[in-house]
Structure 1
Amino acid sequence: MAKAVNLCDLFDQTCKKYSQLPAFTCMGQTLTFAEVDTYTTQFASYLQNHTNLKPGDRIAIQMPNLLQYPIAVYGALKAGLIVVNTNPLYTDREIKHQLNDSGAKALLVLANIAKEANEVVKDTPVETVIVTEVADLHPFLKRHLLNFVVKRIKKMVPEVNFENRVSFTDALKLGAASTFKPGVTNPEDIAILQYTGGTTGVAKGAMLSHRNLIANRGQIVDHLEEVMKEGEEIYIAPLPLYHIYAFNFHCVSLFSRGSLNILIPNPRDLPALLGAIKKVRFTGFVGLDTLFKALCNNEQFKSLDFSALRTTSSGGMALTRDTAELWQKITGVTPNEGYGLTETSPVVSANYANAIKPGTVGVALPHTEVKTVDENGQATAIDEPGELLVRGPQVMEGYWQRPEETAKNIDAEGWFATGDIATIDEAGYIRIVDRKKDMILVSGFNVYPAEVEDVIVSHPKVLEAAVIGVPDARSGEAVKVFVVKKDATLTDKDVISYARDNLTAYKVPKKVEFCEDLPKSNVGKVLRKELRSQ
C-alpha cells in the first residue's frame, strides 16, 4: 500500500486490499472489509448531504462495542468531522459537559443508553441526534427480531423524545441514495477528541490528529511485526473502543493489517463473552489485569482452545505478577504489558513478545524518546526514579481550547510530561513506580479525585470532601472519600446515593469515612498523602 497520510487514506487502502476478508464480528454477525467500506461511505454521505455539519465540526459517538461503532467513526472521519468518543456509562452531567466543551453539533447514541443524553441534549449545541439499536447492521429479519426482543421483551430501551432525531438505519438509506464527495483531510487535522480527567476536576479533550494516530499505528505494527501475520489475525476486543487504547489497537492498527476483530459489547458479562469466543481459534487477546483475572477463575474459559493464541496485550492498568503467571499457565502465553496515555495516542512503550521483562512496561516504541527527570527538570541516572517524559510523533497536538494546560504539559522542545514516576534501566526497559499522585485506577478507568470531590461537596449536608484510592482485590483500586459534615444527620448511604446520581458507576466511592477536618498544608491545600497513610 502507498503510505497513508491520514486515517481516511489508510481506511480506503485497507478496505480495497482486504475487501473479501472479515473485518469485524459482533453478536454473531460479521462484516467484510468491503461491507465496512460500503456502510462507511453511506454514513459519510448522510452526514455530508443531509445535515448541516461541515468539515471540522464535532460529532459525539456514545455506544459500546457494536458493529456500528467503526462504521460511524470512519464515516465521520471521511466526512471531515472530528469524533468525540463518549463513554456510554456517563451520567447526564458528564454528557452535558462533554457535549458543551467539544461544541458537538451531532450525537450518535445507542437507544439502550439514550435516557441520560435525552435529559440534557437541549442544553447543548447538538442539532442532530442519530439513534441506533443493537442489531442495526444484522440481516433484515434477525435485526428486527433482536431489536424487538431488546426493546419489547427485555424492556432495555427507555422512551426518549429527541428533536431532529433520525435512526441509524434511515441515515444509511439516505446516504446510499446520495453521492458522497471525498474532501481534503490534512495530516495535522484533528481526528479524535479524547476526553481525559484533570486535577481541576474538569475533563479536557486531548486533540489527537490524523498524523498522531497514523504514527502510533505504524509504531504498534512495527513492534508487533514478529507476531502479527498480515490478513490472518483474529483478535478478541473486550475493551471499550471509546477508549483510545482499544480504538487504536482494533480500529486502526489491527484493522490496517487485515485482522478480524471480535467485538465484545459488555466484557463484564462473562457468559456472553465466552459464548462469543468459545468456537473461535483466536490468535490475539487485548485486555487488562482485572479481566484476565476474572477469566482465569472461570472454568469455561479454562476449557477453551488456546492453540492458536500467539500474543496477549495488557494495558490500561498495572499487570500484577500473579495475574500474568496465571494467564500464562492457562493459555500458554505470557501477557505483553505496555504503557500509554490518552495524550500519546496512546502507546508509548511495550514489551516485545520474545523479550518480556516482568514488572516492566517494556521499551519505548520506534521513533519514541523517553527520559526521566527530577523536580528541577534535570535528567536522572539509570534506574533512578524520576518523572517520565515522552517525545514522539504520537504526542497529542494539545488540549482542546486550553492553551495554558497544553503549555503546562508539553514544553517548547516537544517533551510531554506524563506525571508518572518511572525508572529506565540500561536496556531501556521502563518500570512505572508511581502513578500520577492523585489519580485512581479502577479496573483500568481513570478516576480523578477533584471531579468526585466537586460532586460530593455540592451535597447540601457536606462541608468538605477529599478523595483517595485504596487497594481493592477486584478492581485494583477503589474510590474512598473523607467527608466533613455540614449537617450531623448525613450518612454514608446519603453520600453514595448522591454520587450515584451524578457520577459514572466506577467513580462512585465504595468507602466513606467521616472526619472532623481534613489535613491541609499551610496554604490550605488538602494533603491527600496524609490521608493515604492513615
Structure 2
Amino acid sequence: MARGDPVFADVTAPGTPFEIGERGGIRYFRRAPDDLALLIESARRHGDATFLVEQDDAGRERRLSYAQMFDWRDRLASRLGIGRGDRVAICMRNRAEWMVAFMAVIRMGGVAVLLNSRGAPAELAAMIEDADPALVLADAERAALIRQSSCAVPVLDALQPEDLGPAGALPEIGGADADDPCAILFTSGTTGRVKGAVLSHRSLMTGLLGTQLTGMMVLHNMARNYGVSVESIMAQVPPQATLLVYPLFHISGLGSAFLAPLLSGAKVVIMRRWDAAEAVRIIADEKITMLTSVPTMLWDMIRHAKQGEMDLSSLRNIGSGGQALPLNLLDEVRALCPHAMIGVGYGMTETAGAIAQAVGADFLNNPAAAGRVLPLIDLRIAGSDGQAAPVGESGEIQVRGAMVMSQYWNRPEENAKAFTEDGWLRTGDVGRLDEDGYLFIVDRMKDMVISGGENIYCAEVERVIGEMPQVVECATFGIPDERLGEQLVAIVVGRDVDERAVTDWVLERLARYKAPARVVVIPDPLPRTHLDKIDKIALRALWPQLAAS
C-alpha cells in the first residue's frame, strides 16, 4: 500500500474521488466535503433500499429503508434546538435510535458526544460532567441510570417517530470548517480516568474514506490479476450487508459498521448481544457479506460450526481487530470460509480508526503483522532517544495525519503527554516496521488488557478496588485466555474481604466487562521494583500458584 504503488497512483490521481492533496505536510482527500453532514446527506440517494434490520424492545423485527431513516432523522433534528458547536451526548445500546440521533446531531451542526452505554451510573455521570453537553439523547434504560446519578443535563428519551411528530423545516446553518469538532469518543488511559478524544470532521471523513480507498485498491488489484475490468467485477458483487456487533460508541462501530455502510448503500443488521448460533442464522437469512469482529467471536463461530451445518457462503469479507489474529484461528477461518477475503487492522480511537490495514493477499503475505501503514498516515518508530528508529528495530509507534484527533477534551496535561513537541501522537504501543511497510505490534507501553476486544485499563479498575475500605493495596493484569485473548485478574491485599465482595464492588461502579474474572486475596504486601512500583512481572509469575491455592 506504498504511495509508489501504481494502483494507488491510479486510484488517487487528480480528478478521481480519492484525489489526494497536501497542506502543511499533511495529506488529505481533496474532494471530501468539509462537513460530515454533507457526506451523510449524500446517502439519501439510496432511497427505498433497506438500510437497517433489527429487533425492537418488544422482540419484533424492524426493517427501515434509507428514506425512512432520513425522515426519522429530520423529525428528530427539528426537535433538538441546538446550534453549531453545541455538544449533545448519545447514550443507548446499538439500535436505530442511536444512528438517527447521531445523524440528527451532525445535521444540526452539533458535536456528538458518544457515551459508553455499558457504563455504571457513576461512569456516565463522569463523562457527562466532563463533556458538559446541552442535551443527552438516551434510550429508556440509560435515561433512568443517568437520572439516577442526579445529572442536571436535560435527557430526552422520547425518540420514536410518532413521539416526534412531523419534521419541521430544517434551518440552513452554514457548513462546518473541516477542523471543527465533530464527535467526542471516550477512552480510558493510564491515569484510570476516562477522557474524550475530539475528532474533527476531517479526521472522521479521512478515516471513512481511507477504508473505502483500501477496498478500491483491492478491487483494482483483483481486476489486474484476473485481466478484467473493475466494472465487470463490481457487476458480480452481491448486495452488501454487514453484521453490526461492535458497540456504536467505539470508533470501529461508528466508522466501519455504521457510517461506511451508510455511505455505500449497504444493509446493516444489528445483533443485540453476541450469540454464535444467532449470528450464523442471521448470516444465512440476511445474506451477510461482511463480518467485522474480534477473535473471541470467530472462535465461538468455529466451535459452533463443529457442532453442525453452517451456511456462511454469503460472507465475502471477514475483518478482525482489537487484538492479534492467532495463526491457528486464521487456519480455522480459512477452512470454514474459503471464499471470504480476510483482513486485519490496527488503530485507535485517537486516530479515527485504522492506521494500518491488510486485506486478502496483502494480509496472507504476512499474517503475523497488524497490517500495512495506510497511505494518508505518517508513522514512525521512536527509539528510546525519541528519534526515528531504523527499519526492523522496535520502539514506540507514533503517528501524524489528517485522521489524528485534535485533542483530549478539557485535558491540557494529557494533551501535552499525548503529543511530541513536533506534533506526533504517541500511541503508547511498541512496534516495528519492516521494509515493505508492514507494522508488527511488539508490546503495550500502556498497562492495558484487551479482553474479547474490549480495552480494560488496569489503572481504572485498580482505582475502584482501592476505594474499598477493606483493601490495603491491589494489582490487576491480564492472563492468556484462548477465547477472550486475555482475562483480567486481580490480586488484593486486604482485611475481611473475599473474591465475591471485590467483584461486586467493581460491578457496581464500572461496566461489567471491566470486573476481574478472578480475584485472589493475600495477607502479605505486593512485591515491588527498585522504583517502589508494584512488580507485575513477579505477580504474573506467581499467579498460577496463587490461583491454585
User: TM-score band, normalised by the shorter chain?
Assistant: 0.7 to 0.9
Please, which runs of 5 or more residues in structure 2 have no aligned partner? 1-16, 18-30, 56-60, 220-233, 543-549
**In structure 1, what is the equivalent of residue 20 of structure 2?**
none
Q: Which residue of 2 aligns with 1:157?
A: none
Partner of 1:375: 384
Distance change (3 Å), C-alpha of 1:529 and 1:56: farther
Q: Cα–Cα, structure 1 residues 302 and 430, in superposed 2: closer, same or farther, change >3 Å?
A: farther
Match of residue 78 from structure 1: 107
Structure 1 segment 103-252 matched on structure 2, within 5 A? 103-120=132-149, 122=150, 124-127=151-154, 129-131=155-157, 166-169=158-161, 171-173=163-165, 176-184=166-174, 185-226=176-217, 232-252=239-259
Q: What is aligned with 1:297?
A: 303
For 1:316 and 1:434, the matched residues in 2 are separated by: 14
Cα shift at 1:212: 0.4
1:471 paired with 2:480, answer yes
* Partner Cα distance (2:309, 2:113) in 1: 39
The CA distance in 1 between the partners of 2:171 and 2:306, in whole Å, is: 49
Secondary structure in 2 matching 1:447:
strand
For 2:125, the equivalent position in structure 1 comes to 96
CA distance in 2, matches of 1:351, 1:263: 25
Partner letter of residue 528 of structure 1?
K
Displacement of 1:282: 2.1
1:46 counterpart (47, 72, 79) = 79
- What SS does structure 1 have at the residue aligned with 2:197? strand
Partner deviation per Cα, 1:51-100 (whole Å, 9 max, x = no partner) = xx433222221222212221110101111221121222211111111111
Letter in 1 for 2:122: R
Same amino acid, percent of matched pairs = 28
Q: Partner residue of 1:159?
A: none
2:408 equivalent among 395, 399, 404: 399
Cα separation, partners in 2 of 1:314 and 1:182, compared to 1, 3 Å: farther
Name 2:63's counterpart in structure 1: 30
Residue aligned with 1:225, SS: helix
> Which residue of the partner structure matches residue 58 of structure 2?
none
Deviates further, 21-30 or 213-222: 21-30
| Distance of 1:347 and 1:299 partners within structure 2 | 30
Question: Which runs of 5 or more residues in structure 1 are unaligned?
Answer: 132-165
- For residues 305-344 of structure 1, the aligned pairs below 5 Å read 305-332=311-338, 333=340, 335-344=342-351
| 2:23 match | none
Letter in 2 for 1:390: V
Structure 1 CA distance, aligned partners of 2:152 and 2:162? 23
Task: Supply the distance in 2 between the matched residues of 1:177 and 1:391 (Cα, whole angstroms).
Answer: 41
Distance 1:299 1:226, change over 3 A: same
Q: Give 1:468 deviation, angstroms.
A: 1.0
- Separation in 2 of the partners of 1:167 and 1:34? 17
Shift of 1:20: 3.1
Tell me the distance in 1 between the aligned counterparts of 2:507 and 2:437. 43
CA 409–264 in structure 1, closer or farther in 2 if over 3 Å, else same: same
Compute the displacement of 1:383 (Å).
1.8
User: Does structure 1 conserve the Cα–Cα contact (< 8 Å) formed by 2:277 and 2:301?
Assistant: no
Aligned partner letter, 2:164: L
TM-score by length of 2: 0.84
1:528 aligns with 2:536: yes
CA distance in 1, matches of 2:345, 2:302: 20
1:171 is displaced (CA, Å) by 5.0
Normalised by the length of structure 1, the TM-score is: 0.86
> Residue 505 of structure 1 aligns to which amino acid in structure 2?
R
1:39 is displaced (CA, Å) by 1.3
Shift of 1:8: 0.2
CA contact (8 A) 1:369 1:390 kept: yes
CA distance in 2, matches of 1:55, 1:300: 53
Give the CA RMSD over aligned residues: 2.1
**1:371–1:390 CA contact under 8 A, matched in 2:** yes
Q: CA deviation at 1:432?
A: 0.7
Alpha-carbon displacement from aligned partner over 1:409-458 (angstroms, at most 9, x marks no partner): 12243311111111111111111111234101111111111111111111
CA gap of 1:384–1:523, structure 2 versus 1, over 3 A, is closer
Residue number in structure 2 paired with 1:156: none
Question: What letter is aligned with 1:40?
Answer: R
Residue 113 of structure 1 and its aligned partner are, at CA, apart by 4.4
Residues 489-504 of structure 1 mapped to structure 2, 5 A cutoff: 489-504=496-511
Shift of 1:249: 0.7
Following the alignment from structure 1 to structure 2, what is the Cα–Cα distance between the partners of residues 73 and 341? 20
Using the TM superposition, give the Cα deviation of residue 279 of structure 1 relative to its aligned residue in structure 2, in angstroms.
1.3
